[in-house]
Amino acid sequence: MNDYRNFLSEILIDEETLQQRVIELGEEISRDYRGKEGLLLVCILRGGITFMVDLMRRIDVPHMMDCMAISSYGAGNFESTGNVRVTYDLQTNIADKNVLIVEDIVDSGRTISHVLEMLQTRRPASLKICALLDKAERREADVPIDYRGFVIPDKYVFGYGLDLDEHYRNLPFVAVVDLEKYKP
């Protein structure tokens, strides 16, 4: 694989800024869920993993966690169609739980809106969304984001869980790819 510096356009959110925001989100979530029973964090694989792992360590109220994987089919490399299929389902019964979905990025909003619709049928006590990144100007589906890390411009990003052809998820910052220079 190519060294990411060959196609890095800019570092959009550096490590320190990311970690500071994760602390703030953890505090906010802890405050809102204090005294409530059955908080379940649901990580959307695979992009949400890095954020989830950092965030859960900043949440100081009792909670459980589970994961689900979604695949968006019929999509091009840099687009999602919102034709969503669950490829790995939750192992937890979410009925009467306070469910908080932890997602890396909301772009058109189609993916998360489908997940919301599906999880709602399982009758959770509450269902909210925590998204690290919000490409607000690209929104097509009306999705309520309850906890938002950063609003970002319409640029394709990678790092901190977000991939380019399944690579570079390990980078501790969020960077913009220069698509002219990127060759998978």
Spatial CA neighbour of 168 closest among 31, 11, 19, 37: 11
Cβ closest to ligand 5GP, residue 62 vs residue 153: 153
φ, ψ of residue 136 to 5 degrees: the values are -55, -40
Question: Of residues 13, 106, 145, 171, which one binds ligand 5GP by CB under 6 A?
Answer: 106
Distance of alpha carbon 132 from alpha carbon 134, whole angstroms: 7
Collapsing DSSP to helix, strand or coil, 21 comes out as helix
Question: Of residues 100, 162, 171, 175, which one binds ligand 5GP by CB under 6 A?
Answer: 162
Spatial CA neighbour of 167 closest among 148, 175, 14: 175
Tokens of residue 182, six digits: 């990127």
| Residues 82-101 interacting with ligand 5GP (rule: CB under 6 A) | 82
Cβ closest to ligand 5GP, residue 33 vs residue 51: 51
111 sits near ligand 5GP (criterion: CB under 6 A): yes
Cβ closest to ligand 5GP, residue 33 vs residue 105: 105
Minimum CB distance to ligand 5GP, residue 138 (Å): 7
What amino acid positions are annotated as catalytic residues?
Answer: 107
Single-letter code of the amino acid located at 70: I
157 sits near ligand 5GP (criterion: CB under 6 A): yes
